[in-house]
């Protein structure tokens, strides 16, 4: 079992009821302060395990957390929603990467990272357009790595001219859960839009080439250039097969002192994730468009950030429609979506190729016998 290190927060008087950032740290009733969605890694709509990650840009397991790369050759990972998190902070899950293809020599212009975007209209209370009253942010998270080393974490604030900030954190002891806090200054020259676009991006570096990790040092103020965006990062943990890196309990909040992690219910976290990505399955209404295609209607559980794109989970699986008034079912073993009409509340997908149907036939989307994963549609409105 791994050991645990943490950074204690003590108020000036040494008591337990001090107010920090206007919040009493242990007050469970204070809600809405964490700008990160799914920071406790509870929701994983796409699945709990993915192999070969690090080869491209993908949301593979835990919702809202993307595995991204810039070039090749690079390391490859098995990514999991792990349940072996043993730090006594109330967290039951973590995002875990384990090296399956090692690479200790990262070429120039190459890097890999885990990131999350914060929607811009969730940031208007930062008041970054006012020099005197802009609010700083503080990021706190738990990390565990198989190697003790320095990591870079990079922030991007989106506006008319994007701004950049690089910080470092150190894993002091291998295979040990450690809590880290990073202060992010306000930027009075950066007016973040109040809309559904990207507001702030957080990037946890995994590997980075020498042209990204040089001696530029960490930033104390926001920069106009992304040069040396992962300055100070050390490439050690990914140079051997079996190396691991884990992330849990991520919180981004207004202030300069990290408060206790804001736990939200699974239902609340799932709904927040579904604004950006949702899967729907059996029960949707279907109507034949022709002798080969059905229009299938989908009502979303929550309003999407934007009109989504659609895909079918496991395209080699069946999409099956139970036709009303027809004794047999009608199925398509190699389904494709040929068209989509969508808004933020729902969508219709035109799916083919079916057989032995007539235009106007109606039915209900169902699943292939014995295959609960069939007939599942994914709707993506990620930032």
Condensed to tens digits (0 to 9), the pLDDT of residues 60-114 reads 999 999 999 988 778 999 999 999 867 656 899 999 999 999 998 888 888 999 9
In the Cβ-directed half-sphere of 286, how many Cα atoms lie within 13 Å? 30
Q: What token pair was written down for 304?
A: 């999407």
For the chain, 383 residues long, the average pLDDT of each consecutive 10-residue run is 42 36 46 95 96 92 95 90 78 95 88 97 89 88 97 93 94 96 91 93 95 84 88 94 97 96 96 97 92 96 98 82 83 90 98 92 79 77 98
Q: Which residues contact 133 (CB under 8 A, 6 or more apart)?
A: 127
Condensed to tens digits (0 to 9), the pLDDT of residues 255-274 reads 999 999 999 999 999 999 99
Phi and psi based region of residue 344 (left: phi greater than 0; alpha: psi -120 to 50; beta: remaining): alpha
Condensed to tens digits (0 to 9), the pLDDT of residues 131-151 reads 667 999 999 999 999 999 999
């Amino acid at each position: 079992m791994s050991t645990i290190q943490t950074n204690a927060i003590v108020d000036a008087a040494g008591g337990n009821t001090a107010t920090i950032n206007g919040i009493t740290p242990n007050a469970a009733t204070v809600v809405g302060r964490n700008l990160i969605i799914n920071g406790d890694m509870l929701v994983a709509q796409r699945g709990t395990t993915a192999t070969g990650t690090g080869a491209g840009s993908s949301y593979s397991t835990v919702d809202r957390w993307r595995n991204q790369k810039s070039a090749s050759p690079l390391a490859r990972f098995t990514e999991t929603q792990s349940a072996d998190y043993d730090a006594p902070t109330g967290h039951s899950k973590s995002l875990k990467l384990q090296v399956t293809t090692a690479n200790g020599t990262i070429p120039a212009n190459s890097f890999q990272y885990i990131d999350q975007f914060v929607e811009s209209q969730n940031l208007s209370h930062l008041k970054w357009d006012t020099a005197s009253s802009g609010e700083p942010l503080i990021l706190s998270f738990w990390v565990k790595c198989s190697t003790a080393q320095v990591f870079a974490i990079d922030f991007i604030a989106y506006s008319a001219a994007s701004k950049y900030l690089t910080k470092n954190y150190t894993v002091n002891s291998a295979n040990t859960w450690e809590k880290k806090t990073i202060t992010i200054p306000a930027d009075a020259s950066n007016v973040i839009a109040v809309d559904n676009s990207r507001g702030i991006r957080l990037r946890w570096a995994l590997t980075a080439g020498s042209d990204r990790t040089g001696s530029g040092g960490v930033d104390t103020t926001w920069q106009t250039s992304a040069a040396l965006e992962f300055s100070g990062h050390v490439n050690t943990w990914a140079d051997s097969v079996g190396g691991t890196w884990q992330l849990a309990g991520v919180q981004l909040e207004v202030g300069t002192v990290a408060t206790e992690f804001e736990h939200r219910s699974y239902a609340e976290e799932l709904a927040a994730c579904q604004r950006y990505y949702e899967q729907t399955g059996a029960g949707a209404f279907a109507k034949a468009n022709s002798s080969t295609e059905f229009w299938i209607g989908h009502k979303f559980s929550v309003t999407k950030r934007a009109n989504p794109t659609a895909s079918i989970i496991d395209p080699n699986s069946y999409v099956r429609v139970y036709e009303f008034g027809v004794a047999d079912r009608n199925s398509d073993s190699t389904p494709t979506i040929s068209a989509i009409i969508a808004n933020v509340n729902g969508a219709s997908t035109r799916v083919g190729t079916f057989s032995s149907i007539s235009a106007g036939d109606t039915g209900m989307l169902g699943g292939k016998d014995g295959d609960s994963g069939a007939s599942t549609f994914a709707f993506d409105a990620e930032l």
